[in-house]
Chain A
Amino acid sequence: MNNETTIHVHDGSVLHDDHHNGHHHKETFITKYIFSQDHKTIAKQFLITGIIWAIIGALFSVLFRLQLGYPDQSFPILETFFGKWGQGGKINPEFYYALITMHGTILVFFVLTAGLSGTFANLLIPLQVGARDMASPFMNMLSYWFFFMASVVMMTSLFVQTGPASGGWTMYPPLSALALAQPGSKMGADLWLISMALFVVSSLLGGLNYIATILNMRTKGMSMTRLPLTIWALFFTAILGVLSFPVLLSGFILLLFDRHLGTSFYLSDIYVAGQILPNEGGSAILYQHLFWFLGHPEVYIIILPAMGMVSEILSVNSRKPIFGYMAMVGSLFAITILAFLVWAHHMFVTGMNPFLGSVFVLLTLLIAIPSAIKVFNWITTIWRGNVRFTPAMLFSIGFVSMFISGGLTGIWLGNSTIDIHVHDTYFVVAHFHIVMGVSAFFGMFAGVYHWFPKMFGRYLNSTLGYIHFWVTIVGAYLIFWPMHYMGLAGVPRRYLDFSLWTTFNQFNDLNKFISVVTIIVFAVNLMFVFNFFYSMIKGRKVRSANPWSANTLEWTTPINPGHGNWEGDIPEVYRWPYDYGKDGREYIPQTEPYKPGEKVH
């Protein structure tokens, strides 16, 4: 790789902007905080937008947990706030289905994709590879603003008269295609599709930028094998997104055609609400293939950045190198490849050819191997370390614990024989909430606690951090662990009331318990949000440039880096980022040359 040329190129561009002096550059409020092209500001924009979405998405889950925990009770407050949707103080079915659909959409896409990789890819890629900014800061800015527009459209859809989309976050047609099938498939579904199209554009603009930056703008000496694992993870995340989001977009466009132009891509033989539709020859399953071709890589888009950050944080706080760096990179690579080859395990019971199903069983269970390698390597990283329990470290350990618990149930679900029974039950709900919901959130929290000093030059309050961690991990297990049993009892997902059923109505007490825990966890996480904004302004100031004694390049910048990141030249890199506890030294930054006779790891 030609580091020399890249250095010249971006050094030149920054010089002409005069950024690296760090001050007195003509920046108005608008160019600095709103239409900023500084990757760090864009990262904060993604994060704060993500936090707002997370509050809304989590609030929705609290609302539908009220229904599930207290199906017979009336909450007048619901009618006060939601009018006809909460008539009589009860969540009506249209409202319930809108809530679960929006909860899924918001958390999967707006929080754990944009909020997570948008934030940390933007913040960490230039800082950790040693670049002054992204390859295209302008495109990067567009990426955020497309996400913003997507957010505005999605938010608008919450206020239309017929309600937002309510066909489930997967939006399977024909339910999502036919306005006759449910109120949420009227205007809400169109807005949902438009919002998601904008979201895909945002994600592609961001992803291309991340890949270009990582490949071309590494500082001198930063070979690919000297990249921190965060960057490797973000790199593979971006590749996954760039290759799979377009497929999703095409699927959505076909759905829009079916909705408005009378095409029959997904529709066939339909008699709905007393009407016979003319469509023939389409396949509803085609949509599912297109959707899950993104949808499965999507779960890795969510989890890989968390894996990368956790690898970094575990190593820094164990004061010990990450175990098996190349195996970690290799397993990320294996996961990336396999992520594209397993989508149909979401479709074992759609009537798919059983032989095809069997191929997907094999490929799905193969993914357990790189996942297992990662888990063993994380554990070995802690082994014989000197472990500091910062809130970031605790969340990283929590991540590994959650990833183990949720990953193992993946072995159940990936096996089509078992999937027949537990498909679309609470078992699935438990599995994916633990393995990608809670885990990814833990990764995100770990990242926020760890890099908050870099973002704002202040610390988060760590007592609140400890409370946040302990309540959340205990709460998450209390909420999701018992759900496995509901799944084994066959209790289907997306039911708002079990009173009609004799098979599924034995979990009322459990549901109540889960709802109470959900509310507590929600409250504690609001406290985290409060901590976040309070500490941003009034938190304890960071006084050392390298508060965690870490090796990576972001800690060689000033405490509050300006646009351009380094005053003076970009540092040169001489070693990998994990020389902790080597040769009796606590840590050796990447910028330190090898001593004569020193062994490369």
Chain B
Amino acid sequence: MSTTWIIVAFILGFIIVFQIAKASEYVAILKGEEKTRKETNKINAFLLLAFLIVGLFGVWYCNEQLKGKILPEAASEHGERIDTMILVTLIITFIVFVITQVALFWFAFRYQEKEDRVPYYYPHNNKLEIIWTVIPAIVLTILVGFGLYYWFQITGEAPKNAQIVEVTGSQFKWEFRYPGKDGRLGRKYFKEINELKANPLGQIWDDPDNHDDIVANQEMHIVVGKPVKLIIHAKDVIHDVGLAHFRMKMDAVPGMPTTMWFTPKYTTRQMKEKYGENFNYEISCDQMCGTGHYGMRGVVIVESQSEFNVWQAKQQPQYAAAMGGGAPAPANPQAPATDTTANSAGSTRNIN
């Protein structure tokens, strides 16, 4: 019902405005077109100035309203660099923004048509041109230099001691694989993927490195203060691991593993204490991946090393699940023990 009223209101408004506009054209002719033109010219000149002033106020007001809604401080060292870069760029571009917008609208107002004004014939001035070529060039060089210095730090090699987590995106979920004691992820091949046989990632069971690898869903556990290197895969279409709090992002491309690394600074608990129980480090898919794209959510749990160890110990290697007939076995805190039994069971299976 209200939709109908809104539409009716729009149509009425439409007709009224149109009639006024048509009438104003007749009035203009009656009053003398030149005179009306000069009047509207003054009105528009004034409006341009008003737009500038109200607009600049609006910029400030918008900032007041929304600055509290953007993200809290960066939760990784890389994120801090990115925030610094944003701040530097913001300051420079905002100064340019204000100067150019003020000049544009002020000149438009100041030099509005007047009877006695003689426009200044000013076709070029090479000195001015050189000045405003060179200054932007210098400023941009600084920004590029600064930006690339950070860029190479962020995209450089991960430290040797980094924890390794493999992230795999698929429509519309995240899966994570952690290397076991050996610290190595086993090989995998997409044609081995078999969800019924509990091999969602296509691990090759012949590879002993796979036997202690843990596979988990939706929640990624990482250790505070320790660099983590993500090895990113996708099964079906392109996804993107978006970690807004860490200011990190990397595409997940089928057939082309990508990597990214960062060092988380605060545990999930610390952030919850600071920003409320609702706080979560979320993983968003940032590359359009199909109809469920908007719900492709994962969570990062940042915890202390000891908490991580406890969690890890509770996990059962995927190999065990795959070899145990697919039924989820109860979590066994003695992972290595499970490992060996699973190992022998696996080798017989694999012959088939």
Contacts and interface: CB of A to CB of B under 8 A. Distances in A.
A404 B55 contact: no
Nearest to A76: B3
Interface string B297-337: 10000000000000000000000000000000000000000
A397 B48 contact: yes
A344 B199 CA distance: 36
B193 A97 contact: no
B124 A327 contact: yes
B119 A268 contact: no
Given A272-B236, A276-B191, A369-B137, A417 B151 contact: yes
Contact of B113 (A276, A380, A388): A388
Contacts of B290: 97, 175, 181-182
Given A386-B117, A387-B113, A503-B245, A93 B93 contact: no
Interface stretch (B179-187, B205-213, B219-227, B250-258): B250-258
A362 interface: yes
Count chain B CB atoms within 10 A of each CB in A369, A389, A405, A485 and give the residue with the most. A389
Contacts of B147: 361, 415-418
Interface in B7-43: 10, 13-14, 17-18, 20-22, 24-25, 37, 40-41
Interface in A276-298: 276, 280-285
Contacts of B5: none
Contacts of B165: none
A323 B151 contact: no
A487 to B, nearest CB: 9
Contacts of B118: 386, 581, 584
Interface in A556-583: 578, 580-583
Interface string A381-425: 011111111000010010011001100110110011110110111
Interface stretch (A135-143, A347-355, A446-454): A347-355
B35 to A, nearest CB: 14
Interface residues of B, number: 121
B218 to A, nearest CB: 12
Contact of A389 (B112, B129, B137): B112
B269 interface: no
Contact of A464 (B18, B81, B105): B18
A404 B59 CA distance: 15
B129 A324 contact: yes
Interface in B281-307: 282, 284-295, 297
Given A284-B254, A492-B284, A366 B291 contact: no
Contacts of B232: 351
B258 A351 contact: yes
Given A368-B140, A503-B280, A503-B284, A421 B101 contact: no
Interface in A66-87: 75, 77
Contacts of A420: 82, 154, 247-249
A409 B37 CA distance: 37
A464 B21 contact: yes
B86 A181 contact: no
B73 to A, nearest CB: 13
B244 A490 contact: yes
A281 B254 CA distance: 10
A337 interface: no
B21 A467 contact: yes
B295 A500 contact: yes
B140 A580 contact: no
B144 interface: yes
Contacts of A326: 124
A349 B122 contact: no
Nearest to A490: B244
A56 B318 CA distance: 51
A372 B113 contact: no
Interface of A: 75, 77, 93-94, 97, 166-168, 172-175, 178, 181-183, 267-274, 276, 280-285, 318-327, 349-351, 354, 357-358, 361-362, 365-366, 368-369, 372-373, 375-380, 382-389, 394, 397, 400-401, 404-405, 408-409, 411-412, 415-418, 420-421, 423-425, 461-464, 466-467, 470, 473-474, 477, 481-482, 485, 488-490, 492-498, 500-504, 506-507, 510, 523, 526-527, 530-531, 540, 578, 580-584, 601
Given A284-B256, A501-B297, A510-B66, 20 more contacts: A182-B291, A269-B235, A319-B119, A324-B129, A349-B249, A351-B251, A361-B148, A362-B144, A368-B140, A389-B48, A400-B104, A417-B81, A423-B286, A466-B40, A466-B44, A467-B17, A488-B70, A493-B286, A523-B13, A580-B121
15 contacts: A94-B291, A174-B237, A178-B237, A284-B254, A323-B123, A324-B125, A327-B129, A387-B108, A397-B104, A401-B101, A409-B93, A415-B89, A418-B82, A420-B82, A583-B121
